[in-house]
Amino acid sequence: MVQALLVEAEALLAAASNPIILKGNIMNIEQYGIYILYAFVYLAFMLSLKYALNFMAAKHYNADEELAGGNLAAGLRRTGAQFGLAIAFMGLLSGANSESLVEDLMTTGMYGALAVVFMLSSLVFTDRLVTPGINNTNAIKNNNVAVGIVEFGMLVGTGIIAHSSIVGEGGGILSSLSYFIAGQITLVALVLFYEKAILRDFNIIESISNGNVSSGIYIGGKLIAYALILKSAIAGNSSDATLSYMMSEYLLLAVTGMLFLYVFEYLIDLLIITSSNVKEILLEDRMVPALQLSGAKIGMAMILSNAIL
């Protein structure tokens, strides 16, 4: 055993004396240090998002007290916002780096603040467009879990879209805002189309307002699935073209992906749950099959999104 320890010690000394290995170890330590620094930057933005959410809800309820009291709907809103921000932040970190750490930190700060704005604006999109006629903040105060799940889906979907739009190879605030706005409008339009045209014989908004959890799961899952397709439409875009061409290419990829998803959604609704149809599941508030259908559609969107890239 002593001999083995001596051999290991000699190997460590040899590695330490080798300038190539020593340089590699120093670079690894520096890289780890940079990642830890970015983790603290993300923590700062996560805290700023928390206080912004608290401020938005302050007229209606004390968010920290509701969370401490076990308000699940409030917890879903907060968790969705934090999770969405993390997804967006990962997209930022995977973008092109400059040679200056200070410049990278300034860029991260600028786009990180933009990601926080994206998260907060998605709540407005949800309240005004995805669930029209429902005061989402009051519903969250009253622990309407269905509304909380829809907001969770929208916030995560926003993070997924921001993951591709917030930096991109072309970069720039204008392209980031353009892709985010285009992605959010498309996402909302797709959900509204489903609510009004596909599920026209069932008022799913009224169902969510009444606290039907299965309806919240169903729409929340769709928001995430649709966002995955839109994210790939953004990521599959050319970065060296004009903005108008990039938008037209985005729309083409988004429409193609959504057509495939709609076909497979129909097959999933038809084949995954054979004992009843979607309308019966939602009317009877059957959460388990609703969760199964949503999970299957998100999984299918993940597969299809790879075909778009």
Full DSSP string of 234-275: HHTS-SSS-HHHHHHHHHHHHHHHHHHHHHHHHHHHHHT--S
156 CB neighbour count, 10 Å cutoff: 23
Give the model's confidence band at 32: pLDDT under 50 very low, under 70 low, under 90 confident, else very high.
confident
Residue with the larger pLDDT of the pair 49 and 244: 49
Rounded to an integer, what distance in angstroms lies between the CA atom of residue 207 and that of residue 5?
Answer: 69
Residue with the larger pLDDT of the pair 97 and 302: 302
Query: Based on the structure, what is the number of domains in the chain?
Result: 1
- The pLDDT value recorded for residue 171 is 52
Give the model's confidence band at 233: pLDDT under 50 very low, under 70 low, under 90 confident, else very high.
confident
Buried b (16+ CB within 10 A) or exposed e, 59-71: eebebeebbeeeb
- The pLDDT value recorded for residue 211 is 95
Residue with the larger pLDDT of the pair 278 and 33: 278
Give the model's confidence band at 30: pLDDT under 50 very low, under 70 low, under 90 confident, else very high.
low
- The pLDDT value recorded for residue 151 is 96
- The pLDDT value recorded for residue 22 is 41
DSSP letter for each residue of 149-200: HHHHHHHHHHHHHHHHHSSTTT--HHHHHHHHHHHHHHHHHHHHHIIIIITT
**Tokens standing for 62?**
């004390």
Q: Are 158 and 228 in contact (CB under 8 A)?
A: no
Q: How many CA atoms lie within 13 A of 191 on its CB side?
A: 31
Give the model's confidence band at 3: pLDDT under 50 very low, under 70 low, under 90 confident, else very high.
low
pLDDT at 33 over 60: yes
pLDDT at 230 over 60: yes
What predicted TM-score, i.e. pTM, was given to this entire model? 0.84
- The pLDDT value recorded for residue 21 is 45
- The pLDDT value recorded for residue 215 is 95
- The pLDDT value recorded for residue 45 is 93
- The pLDDT value recorded for residue 199 is 76
Q: Rounded to 5 degrees, what are φ and ψ at 277?
A: -100, 175
Rounded to an integer, what distance in angstroms lies between the CA atom of residue 233 and that of residue 165?
Answer: 10
Q: Rounded to 5 degrees, what are φ and ψ at 170?
A: -75, -30
CA R_g for the chain: 23
Rounded to an integer, what distance in angstroms lies between the CA atom of residue 38 and that of residue 103?
Answer: 13
Residue type (1 letter), 167 = V
pLDDT at 12 over 90: no
- The pLDDT value recorded for residue 15 is 47
Kindly report, residue by residue over 254-300, the tens digit of the pLDDT. Answer: 888 888 888 888 888 888 887 788 889 999 999 999 999 999 999 99
Kindly report, residue by residue over 64-106, the tens digit of the pLDDT. Answer: 999 999 999 999 999 999 999 999 988 777 755 556 777 777 8
Residue with the larger pLDDT of the pair 108 and 242: 108
- The pLDDT value recorded for residue 289 is 92
Average pLDDT, stretch 211-219? 95
| Cα 180 to Cα 22, 50, 97, distances in angstroms | 44, 22, 21
- The pLDDT value recorded for residue 174 is 75
Q: What phi-psi label fits residue 59: left (phi over 0), alpha (psi between -120 and 50 degrees) or beta?
A: alpha
Kindly report, residue by residue over 165-214, the tens digit of the pLDDT. Answer: 775 444 567 777 878 888 888 888 888 888 777 777 889 999 999 999 99
**Tokens standing for 184?**
């959010």
* Residue-range definition of the domain harbouring residue 278: 2-308
Q: What phi-psi label fits residue 168: left (phi over 0), alpha (psi between -120 and 50 degrees) or beta?
A: left
Compute the Cα dihedral for 269, 272, 275, 280 and give only its sign. negative
Kindly report, residue by residue over 108-157, the tens digit of the pLDDT. Answer: 888 888 889 999 999 998 998 899 889 999 999 999 999 999 999 999 99
- The pLDDT value recorded for residue 20 is 47
